[in-house]
Structure formats: C-alpha cells, structure tokens
Chain A
Amino acid sequence: MNRKFVMAHAWLTGGAALRSNWLYMVTGMGFPLSLLFIVGVLSEGSLLPYALAGGLISIVASNGIYTMADLGMFKFEYMFKDLIVTTRTSPMDYMFGVMLADFFWSIPSIVLYFVLDIVFHILTPYAFVMTIIVAALVLLATASLGFVLTSLVRHQRFVWAITAMLSLTMMVFPPTFYPYTYLPRDVLWAIAISPTTPAAVLEQGFFGIGPMMWSMLGVLVAETVILFLIAKYLTVWRER
C-alpha cells in the first residue's frame, strides 16, 4: 500500500482543504440536521433519540456517497484518476485516500451528533465504542460501492443521478430516523440490502432504544466484505 499517497490525499484534499472551504462542511450537515429537525418536530420529541442515534449513520453514509461524487469529479472534471493510474498508486490506495479525505469533512458533523447524544443523555461509553465500529464498517461499505460504480460510469451526470438514488435508498428508507420495529420483518430484511439498515438497527440496540438484533451485525460485516472485495477486484482501473 502507498501509505504516503493515502495520507497525503486525505490531508491535502480533506483536512487542509477544509480550512478554505468550510461552507461545504456546513452543507454536509444540512441533510441529517434537517431530518433530525423534522422528525423531532413531527414526533413532538418522542423519536428524537432514534434520529440522534441514526443520524450518525446517516452522516457516515452521506460521507460514502460524497466519496462517489468526489471520485466522479476527480475522474471526469480533473482527469485526476488518469493521472494517478500511471503512478505506483493502486486502486485501493486511491479509494482509501478519497474516502479518508471525505471523512475529514464529516468530522465536525460527527462531533456535533456525539455532543447532541450527550446533551440528550443517550450516549454511553459502550454505545460510543460500538458506534465507532459500526460507522467504520458503513464508511468502508458505502465508499467501496461508490468506487465501483464510479469506475463503471462514463459521465459525471450519471454520478449525480446515482448519488441521488443512493441518498434515498441509504438515508431515507432505512430506519436511521425512526424505530426499526415500525417495519414488518419482511420489509426490514428487504431493505437490509442497504448497509445503513443493519447499521441503524444495531445503533438502536447499542443506544438502548430498541431491541438488540445481533444478526444484523453479521449482515453488515458480510455486506462490507462483499462490497470491499467487489471494489478491489472488479473496479476498472487500467482501461481495456
């Protein structure tokens, strides 16, 4: 692995760039915070703990979706991918670099959510640790999915269309802002195809606001591994 590139990419296009582009960071907070507000108001506060627990997953998933959008920009607008293919950097180095750069942009939102979790007394040390693990899995799964899809599309406009669809399927339908027990079991398993569903179910268990469903951990790990392997072996890097 070219760690120098991964760290340089993460820092130069993420951490360092954040200072001069802070407005994007605020924009990134917009969607999860808007849903949090709507859910809080409509449920008169009763679903707020669910929205707070699931909101973290939503932010991490949107991070993965942004990774796809960025990969599209780097491929089609800057021709950066073409530049990188002819270096000693592997596709996985590239994916991790972009993923971690986008993660930098999400850190303020994640911190804000953890602060809100503390304010509303739902965060425990156990929930904190387990949230980090689940979030890391969701991040890897969504970034892998975005990486494969970007390598297959031929124009940036397809990237925007796919990211819009992914936002719906990963952040609105899954129980990231409402109790998963509202859903019939069949529906729950059907939408478990999105990694955010098992992640949200697990989060509700870790935060003690829903029954623990450990089988979803197996689903999340399996999805992450499969998506990562697909990204590693099926991504089009050198054109044929």
Chain B
Amino acid sequence: MIEADGLRKRYKDGTVALKRVSFRLDKKISAIIGRNGAGKTTLMRILSTQMMPTSGSATINGLDVIKQADEIRKIAVSIPQEARPVDYMPAVDCVKLYLAARGFGSKQAKVSAEKALRTVGLGDSMDKIAYELSGGMKRKVFVAMAIASNADVIFLDEPTTGLDPFSRVEVWSAIRAIKGQVILTTHYMEEAQALSNDVLMIEAGKIFAQGTVDQLLRPFNGLVRVESQRKKGTAYKVGSTWVSYVKKGMAKSLVGKDDIIKPVTLDDLFIKRGVNLES
C-alpha cells in the first residue's frame, strides 16, 4: 500500500511540481493520469526513492521513503520513463544485469530473466541484441525486469509512450502478468481504463480526483460527448473544437450533421476542468 501525506516538490529553478498531495493507493493496479508536466514523473521518482521531496511524507508498505529508502529498494521496482535497454547487449543480459543490481546471483538471475522474458512473449528474442528489437519489445524487456524481480511494488512511468497500438496492447498484457502492486503513470486514458482498478488524476501538481473508472465517470452517467465547431450552450473549448455533453437519447436530435458524438471517457474529466490535453 502506498500513502502520501502533503507531498511537495519544489525544484531549484523555483518550479513547484507537486503541491502538497495526499492519497492512498492499495489496489492491484493503480494509474496516475495527467498531461505532460502535471507532476506524474516527479511523484513516481519520489515514491520510488530516486528523489527527495521538499516536504511531506510518503510510505510504501509502511516504509518511509525518506528514512527507509534502502528497505524500500528491496521490495520495490521502478522502471523510468524513456528507459532503453543497452543497445549492444542481448535482452536477456539486460534483465540479468538489472537482477544482479537487485542482489540476485548469476544462476538465479539467468533462470528468472529467461522465465520473465518468456512470460512477456520474448522467449524467441531474448538472445537478440537490444538494437534489433522493436519499440514494443524494448519496453517489454523492462516489464520482464519488473516481473523477474518478484517485487511487492512496481512503479512504471509511462510504460507505453510512443508505442503503436498493437505494441501497447502487448505491453498491457505483460503488465497484467506482474504479481505485485503496480503503479503506472500514463496520459492515455484508455490505458488507465483498460488496466487499472484505481485512478489518480493529477494536474498542475495537484490531485483533483481519485477512484475507480466507474466512480470517476459517474457524473457523466447517461451522457455522451458532442464535438462541434460552434459553441452550443454550455461547452468547453479544446483547441478549435467545442465539447458539450448531452443525454444519449437526445443526442441525434440535438446535434448538427457536422458534429461528432463520442462516448464519455476519463478525458472528459480533464475537459470539464478546462485542461486541454493536446497542449
């Protein structure tokens, strides 16, 4: 279980990335959603003991991230955003090296690495040099590290950013194979909806919503999203498009022929807050 109380992070240049955030995450897979620069990565770095907070506290399974970092490192794994396997090493060696860093002996590391790579579907590619792997395969190497480490808590920072839709689905499947508690950050709403039991929504260093996908979408029950080029009633501007919400049954009679009707997703929580996710 992860708990944070009043976590704040101010960087040397004065940027305040986290503004006293408090939350509790205890579900199997939790997603932290926010656009670029919202504070997701800073939060992950603090929780995974890569970075010190400016103030506030947080615990991982009861262990303090500031005072008990060494203990946390025994039970938690963190896969950074944009991490890449070392180009000139085979995939299996990349996983073995990571396991050695976690204290695995060479035989144990070999067995665990090969097993984990097979679990994520890289059984036939484990001896390939990393630069020969596709983007999706490279990300799966890191998911294999998380699986092989057998850790209680796994932090995945934007595990599918930049991947094509097929590779993303493959990585999702690999993430589901992880046994420990997973906390992942993403700015793909469908990713959070597909994977997580609990969603934490963050914007400008503040958490503005938390719950299951169903709970978060409850205010939109029975509504659909209408995207239009002209403002109609209560509408929110996203780029050059106006977004409004109408009851499902009335959608066809209310909207014009150029309007687009879409089902409501977690995106709409940001849209209603006036946050342009495309920016």
- The minimal Cβ–Cβ distance linking B170 to chain A, given in whole angstroms, is 21
B120 at the interface (CB under 8 A from A): no
A2 at the interface (CB under 8 A from B): yes
Q: Do A87 and B101 touch across chains, with their CB atoms under 8 A apart? A: yes
Question: Which residues on B sit within 8 Å (CB–CB) of A239?
Answer: 45, 50-52
Segment at the A interface, from B88-96, B197-205, B261-269, B270-278: B88-96
- The minimal Cβ–Cβ distance linking A210 to chain B, given in whole angstroms, is 40
Segment at the A interface, from B78-86, B179-187, B218-226: B78-86
Partner of A86, one of B52, B77, B97, B109: B77
Query: Which of A9, A85, A88, A239 has the most chain B CB atoms inside 10 A of its CB?
Result: A85
**Distance, CA A9 to CA B96, complexed state (A):** 10
B49 at the interface (CB under 8 A from A): yes
Question: Which residues on A sit within 8 Å (CB–CB) of B69?
Answer: 238
Nearest to A89 among chain B residues (CB) is B101
Question: Which residues on B sit within 8 Å (CB–CB) of A2?
Answer: 100-101, 103
Partner of A88, one of B82, B87, B103: B103
Q: Do A8 and B96 touch across chains, with their CB atoms under 8 A apart? A: yes
Query: Which of A8, A74, A84, A238 has the most chain B CB atoms inside 10 A of its CB?
Result: A8
Interface string of A1-43 (1 = CB under 8 A from B): 0101101110011001100110000000000000000000000
Q: Among residues 53 to 97 in chain B, which have CB atoms less than 8 Å away from a CB atom of chain A?
A: 69-70, 73-74, 76-89, 93, 96-97
Partner of A83, one of B74, B78, B93, B96: B78
Please classify how large the interface on chain B is, using the bins under 10, 10 to 19, 20 to 34, 35 or more: 35 or more
Question: Which residues on A sit within 8 Å (CB–CB) of B83?
Answer: 78-80, 82-83
Q: Do B129 and A86 touch across chains, with their CB atoms under 8 A apart? A: no
Q: Do B50 and A12 touch across chains, with their CB atoms under 8 A apart? A: no
Q: Do A86 and B76 touch across chains, with their CB atoms under 8 A apart? A: yes
**Distance, CA A12 to CA B93, complexed state (A):** 7
A240 at the interface (CB under 8 A from B): yes
Question: Which residues on B sit within 8 Å (CB–CB) of A74?
Answer: 86
28 A-B interface contacts by CB (under 8 A): A2-B101, A5-B97, A5-B103, A8-B106, A8-B109, A9-B97, A12-B97, A13-B86, A13-B97, A16-B89, A77-B84, A78-B83, A78-B87, A79-B81, A79-B82, A79-B84, A80-B83, A82-B78, A83-B98, A86-B76, A87-B73, A87-B98, A87-B103, A88-B102, A88-B103, A238-B50, A238-B52, A240-B52
Interface residues of A (CB under 8 A from B): 2, 4-5, 7-9, 12-13, 16-17, 20-21, 74, 77-80, 82-89, 238-240
